Chains A and B, each alone.
Chain A
Amino acid sequence: MLSFSRVTKIYGKRKKRRPAVGEARFGRLAVDDFSLEISAPIFGFLGQNGAGKTTIIKMITGLLAPTSGTIMIDGVPSRDEASKRNIGFMPETPYFYERMTGIEFLRFCTELFPGAKRDDESLGKILKIAGIFEARNYEIRTYSKGMRQRLGFAQALVNDPNYLFLDEPLDGLDPIGRHDLKKSMLALKAEGRKIFLNTHILYDVEEVCDEVGVIHEGKLLYAGPVKDFCAGRPLEERFVETVKEYEKGKQDSKIMNQES
């Protein structure tokens, strides 16, 4: 299980003074007192650009440290080496070593996991899952955006992880690529792996996710089953409505504060 307990992230200088959202002088509040427990096989994290989705995924994978609060994976802090051995991460718009070939890059990633299978057969299998096997011996600089996304997905699988964290994995993929990747995600789910997915492509979320979380300005507005959230209406409509309700509530409380 993935659990967040009162996680806050403030970017910038003076972290002792808590800044308001968007306030730059004392740092920027990116995630605000975020608590959540996730046990769903595929969890989709929804939010606008700058809502805090990537910050959260970077904190889970240990790329960033929370300003306060804890993130645990199966009871172990997510930044611990034991947790990192058990996760795969695909960053948003991945930048690779351009002069390496696809298979070389996978080999390099595998070497960072002691004990992971490094033979070409195992790596070939992963490349086939990601749909990039044929291009394995080409230099990455010749890859299209979609091929890079596929390679990014492939490298997240080299350690046979139980948890996969994918940041906008469907961005830049053509319809066939998206279909293939969603199929792969569902196959991984069937193997018992858990997937945490950041996206703003709501149609795909409806298709693959069991649960969703809606984040806005670093605050969690909703977390639960997709069906409960939608309640028979389109996901996009419900998402916009939730964000607008929050904005309206914020505006109302601001007016009340000014009046009092």
Chain B
Amino acid sequence: MNHIITIAKNTLKLEVRDKIWIALLAFGLGYIAIMLFLSDLVLKELPMVKAFALLGIYFFNAIIALFLGTTSFYRDVERKTVYFILAKPISRAQFLLGKFFGLCAVIFLTSVALAVAYLAIVALAGGGFDAMGLLAILMQFLEMALFLAFAIFVSTFSSSLLSIVYTSVIFFLGHVVSSLVDDARKIGISGIRYVFVNILYYIFPNLEKFNIRDFAVHSVSLPWASFGFAVAYATAYIILLLFAAIWIFEKKEI
């Protein structure tokens, strides 16, 4: 466990020194700040401010997760920095888990910074303390953790560029699979085509489970069961992906 913490701490330390992360965080904060001016000029209503701000947080977190997930682990292996680490009494599984938790910590830190800005903007726009907004950001964080696990999994067997492609495809599919099944039902697709859509639904993560922005925007409370299910879903998926990633990494000749 200590080794995992050591790697995670080191990953966090290194990634927050990266100029790309600093720039993306600055852009994210700038974007939320702009919401304050837009609220008077264009958006007018509080729900619009919330919607755009939450979407911005989601966008910047996704970009950072994609960038970190597809480069950090791959770079260590490809540049052979792992030689220094894995020749020491630490297993490959510990290293990979440490990287994952370290990257999650970076996303968490980003989420916290953006959430503080978001709460300030909402309060200034006359919305008071937005607990549902916070929950929406937390759910976005869960999605990003899953996203990171997938990116690391892909990084164990493909190049950084291909990882970006695969992870982006999963990101896209993850958001459309649930509506694909709904649309298939509505249109009345049946037979092999319906089976195919269902296979897609069960293979790819359903990222829409983590999207509660509409609840937050309209201050509608989320049933705890839905929240609990989303947490369990993310945890199970992450564990599965990390197991697969470790299995591949253990066999990889570095």
Q: Which residues of A contact B (CB under 8 A)?
A: 11, 58, 61-64, 81, 84-85, 87, 89, 91, 94-97, 99-100, 108-109, 111-114, 152, 155, 159
Which of the residues B2, B14, B81, B254 comes within 8 Å of A114, measured between beta carbons? B2
Please name all residues of chain A whose beta carbon is closer than 8 Å to the beta carbon of B79 when the two chains form the complex: 95
Bound complex: CA A97 to CA B12 (Å) = 12
Nearest residue (CB) in A for B7 is: A112
Asked if A91 contacts B83 (CB within 8 A), the reply is yes
Please name all residues of chain A whose beta carbon is closer than 8 Å to the beta carbon of B6 when the two chains form the complex: 108, 111-112
Which of the residues A89, A99, A114 comes within 8 Å of B87, measured between beta carbons? A89
Asked if A87 contacts B87 (CB within 8 A), the reply is yes
Which of the residues A11, A63, A94, A112 comes within 8 Å of B89, measured between beta carbons? A112
Nearest residue (CB) in B for A61 is: B87
Please name all residues of chain A whose beta carbon is closer than 8 Å to the beta carbon of B89 when the two chains form the complex: 81, 84-85, 112-114
Bound complex: CA A85 to CA B89 (Å) = 6
Measured CB to CB, the closest approach of chain A to B16, in angstroms, equals 10
Asked if B90 contacts A99 (CB within 8 A), the reply is no
Bound complex: CA A100 to CA B84 (Å) = 14
Bound complex: CA A99 to CA B81 (Å) = 13
- Counting chain B CB atoms within 10 Å of each CB, the highest count among A87, A91, A114, A159 belongs to A91
Bound complex: CA A81 to CA B92 (Å) = 12
Chain B, range 1-21, C-beta contacts under 8 Å to A? 2-3, 6, 10, 13-14, 17-18
List 7 extra interface pairs beyond A100-B14, A112-B89, A155-B84, CB under 8 A.
Answer: A62-B86, A63-B87, A95-B81, A96-B81, A97-B10, A112-B88, A112-B90
Measured CB to CB, the closest approach of chain A to B212, in angstroms, equals 36
Please name all residues of chain B whose beta carbon is closer than 8 Å to the beta carbon of A63 when the two chains form the complex: 83, 86-87, 254
Asked if A109 contacts B254 (CB within 8 A), the reply is no
Asked if B253 contacts A11 (CB within 8 A), the reply is yes
Measured CB to CB, the closest approach of chain A to B73, in angstroms, equals 13
Chain B, range 92-134, C-beta contacts under 8 Å to A? none
Please name all residues of chain B whose beta carbon is closer than 8 Å to the beta carbon of A95 when the two chains form the complex: 79-81
When A99-B14, A100-B14, A112-B6 are in contact, do A91 and B84 touch as well, CB less than 8 Å? Answer: yes
Please name all residues of chain A whose beta carbon is closer than 8 Å to the beta carbon of B63 when the two chains form the complex: none
